[in-house]
Amino acid sequence: MRRHLPFLTWGCLAILLLLIACQTVPFTQRKRLILVPESTERELGATTYQDILTNSKLSEDLEEVRRVKEIGMRIANVTDRPDYSWEFNVIDDNEVVNAFCLPGGKVAVYTGIMKVSSTDTELAVIIGHEIAHAIARHGAERMTQLLVVELGGMALEEALKKQTKKTIELGKVAYGAGTQLLFVLPYSRTHENEADRIGLIFMAKAGYDPHAAIDFWEKMEKEFGGQEPPEFLSTHPSSQRRIENLKKWLPEALKYYQS
């Protein structure tokens, strides 16, 4: 009976965590586990944001910066998070085709992605997507996943204590590979899909035509020649899958746009 106690302990702990920390994602209604307090998440976001800005070259193009701030605030104002300390900056790096929003509303857009977003509506697609990650608290969910993986590793080590050294090492390697492919990455793809869907709603609520999201990702697919990693090993959905999903979610977003 005693040797089964660790498993009973971990099982009870898992059930307790699910009861206490289960939360619902806005709009998608997906249930997920969040163990990280929002105050901690936002503090980490603010610290990381300042570190990034300190070590980056900020754009001196006033029109470029104005455009990002104006579009960003239009979207921020429809997220129902006035408690966020919204901040928008443009990082001068044409090699980086990306943008991000850290917890608490800390947004940065790289000039590299602004070069391929020729209209305000296309830029709203990008900013809406990134803000959606923060509103859905995907960062806190990822941190929770890492905590759960660490706890799982501890449970595995307990289970293999009486096995040979070689068996223990093989077990740990197998566990690591399994969590990477079947646990961590699939959640990341889920996050990207949710950010697309919620971002589509945010841009529509802010007065930007959500049809533009489909046009933008079709343009991006042509721009980069479809050169992207296989979807199975990628945290992002393929361009084709993304476009199919956006078409499926478009009617929902149009209700907000037309109202």
Whole-angstrom distance, CA of residue 134 vs CA of residue 193? 14
Q: CA angle at residue 18 from 175 to 3, to 5 degrees?
A: 55
192 close to 235: Cβ distance less than 8 angstroms:
yes
Rounded Cα–Cα distance for residues 71 and 77 (Å): 10
**Active-site residue flag, 130:** yes
What end-to-end distance do the CA atoms of the chain give, in Å?
62
| Residue tagged active-site, from 41, 87, 122, 130 | 130
Which one-letter amino acid corresponds to residue 91? I
Q: Which CA distances in Å does 101 have to 62, 132, 155?
A: 21, 8, 34
DSSP type of residue 232: G
Residues marked active site are found at: 130
